[in-house]
Chains A and B, each alone.
Chain A
Amino acid sequence: GAGVSQTPSNKVTEKGKYVELRCDPISGHTALYWYRQSLGQGPEFLIYFQGTGAADDSGLPNDRFFAVRPEGSVSTLKIQRTERGDSAVYLCASSSGTDPYQETQYFGPGTRLLVL
């Protein structure tokens, strides 16, 4: 079946602009995660959804970052007033949601964001 997809694959924007990054999880997966991977680093947790609600948003760096998942499927990560330090690859992952600790997270290919 189809895996996790993310659009766009690349996004170039100017400092101060607003961007939206989209994640389509595997069909039927209720758990969804966002991570950010800066150059030379491992992925860093941002936010976790179980269904429509953000169960843990402790990884969001500041209030310029926000994510939604209104119907429990597609999720959008929104970044306001982008800064050059926001440049990174944004990864989305989904899992079945049936075993919160032990199930496998399936990652998408990521969106590479470059803020000029």
Chain B
Amino acid sequence: AQSVTQLDSQVPVFEEAPVELRCNYSSSVSVYLFWYVQYPNQGLQLLLKYLSGSTLVESINGFEAEFNKSQTSFHLRKPSVHISDTAEYFCAVSEMNTGFQKLVFGTGTRLLVSP
């Protein structure tokens, strides 16, 4: 069975600094990869996803993630964070043999951006 590891439970960072949120996964088959974000008092929403093609994927608000198959990683990065990026970020995988998008989530990383 697949699993997702997000080693950092909390990442504090100053505004305008770069940030990387780490995600590693384990699976015996090929996977699709996702990052979801949960802003305070809001529901989960998709940030970006890797399905196929270019291993570097980007979101509309400046985040990017790179699929590294050899290292089984899908780290999320942003070169300059804003206060509004404060949220909890969840990495998720879905194996390609389940018949549907059966998401398995990591435990989440809380990004705290301070002025």
Judge if B73 is at the interface, Cβ distance under 8 Å. no
B99 in contact with A105 (CB, 8 Å): no
A: number of interface residues (CB 8 Å):
29
A33 to B100, alpha carbons, bound, how many Å? 11
Judge if A48 is at the interface, Cβ distance under 8 Å. yes
- Beyond A101-B32, A101-B96, A102-B51, whether A45 also contacts B103 by CB under 8 A is yes
Measured between beta carbons, the chain A residues less than 8 angstroms from B100 are 31, 48, 50, 55-56, 100-101
Interface set of B (CB-CB < 8 Å, partner A): 4, 6, 32, 36, 42-46, 49, 51, 90, 92, 94, 96, 98-108
Min CB distance, A24 to chain B, in Å? 13
A56-B100, A101-B32, A105-B101 given; 16 more Cβ-contact pairs under 8 Å: A33-B103, A35-B103, A42-B6, A42-B90, A42-B108, A44-B105, A45-B104, A56-B98, A56-B102, A91-B44, A100-B99, A102-B101, A103-B101, A105-B46, A108-B43, A110-B43
A10 to B91, alpha carbons, bound, how many Å? 26
A109 in contact with B102 (CB, 8 Å): no
Measured between beta carbons, the chain B residues less than 8 angstroms from A35 are 103
Measured between beta carbons, the chain A residues less than 8 angstroms from B46 are 104-105
Question: Looking at the complex, which one of A45, A100, A101, A107 makes contact with B45 (CB distance below 8 Å)?
Answer: A107
- Beyond A101-B32, A102-B51, whether A56 also contacts B43 by CB under 8 A is no
Closest residue on chain A to residue B51 by CB atoms: A102
Min CB distance, A6 to chain B, in Å? 9
Which of A33, A42, A109 has most B Cβ within 10 Å? A42
A41 in contact with B32 (CB, 8 Å): no
Measured between beta carbons, the chain A residues less than 8 angstroms from B90 are 42-43
A48 in contact with B102 (CB, 8 Å): yes
Q: What 0/1 readout, one digit per residue, does chain A (1-15) give for beta carbons within 8 Å of chain B?
A: 001100000000000
Closest residue on chain A to residue B103 by CB atoms: A45
Question: Looking at the complex, which one of A40, A102, A105, A109 makes contact with B107 (CB distance below 8 Å)?
Answer: A40
Closest residue on chain B to residue A40 by CB atoms: B107
- Beyond A101-B32, A101-B100, A102-B32, whether A42 also contacts B107 by CB under 8 A is yes
Min CB distance, A78 to chain B, in Å? 22
B105 in contact with A43 (CB, 8 Å): yes
